[in-house]
Amino acid sequence: MKKYLLSVALLIAISISAKAQFSVGIKGGVNFSKIDADNLDNSTKTGYQAGVFVRVGNAFYLQPEAYLSSTGGNFNTSDNSFHAKVDFTNVSVPLLFGHSFGSKDLNFRLMVGPVYTYTLNKNESFSDNTNAAIADFGHYNNSTLGFQAGGGVDIGPITADLRYEGGLTKINPDYGQRQNLWALSVGFKIL
């Protein structure tokens, strides 16, 4: 009985995927990240992102991605007595749900979904007068969850996206730090 049910489920999955549009591509772009922190002024850091995506579906689609990115932030106190700069190298894995409309050669898309980010490397620098005073400022979590929402356009095999990413979990709960960013990417559908 189990073999029969498994065979039917596999047959249904194959027939659904055969009707669905399937594309694989590469993407790269720029992001503008900021880490919000309690009682500190912050500024935006420009970074990069590069990776791959898979899109399954037609009008409604599912788009998992994996990419390498650089993010971070700059912090100052209002009297400029404390300066800090933090840079992260991350692997991000969003799972986007979207709706597309338009023709095959000119297609517009809206998307939203969760993103998991794992920090591979961090580089931080603090002003000399604060290294001992705020020793736990840089205790950052290696894993965070967030969300992405945005829109995009496909012109033939070329794809472009503009997205906002917000942090659902704090990267440093001691100082209320959450990372958010805007990302602009361009990609190419290989399949």
> pLDDT per position in the chain (191 positions), as tens?
455 555 545 544 554 454 568 899 999 999 999 887 766 677 788 999 999 999 999 889 999 999 999 998 877 776 766 777 888 899 999 999 999 998 888 999 999 999 999 999 988 777 655 554 455 556 778 899 999 999 999 999 999 999 999 988 887 777 677 888 999 999 999 98
Q: Which two tokens stand for residue 161?
A: 């996206």
Cα–Cα distance for residue pair 58/78, rounded to 1 Å: 50
Cα–Cα distance for residue pair 130/140, rounded to 1 Å: 17
Phi, psi of 17 (to 5 degrees): -70, -25
pTM of the full predicted structure?
Answer: 0.80
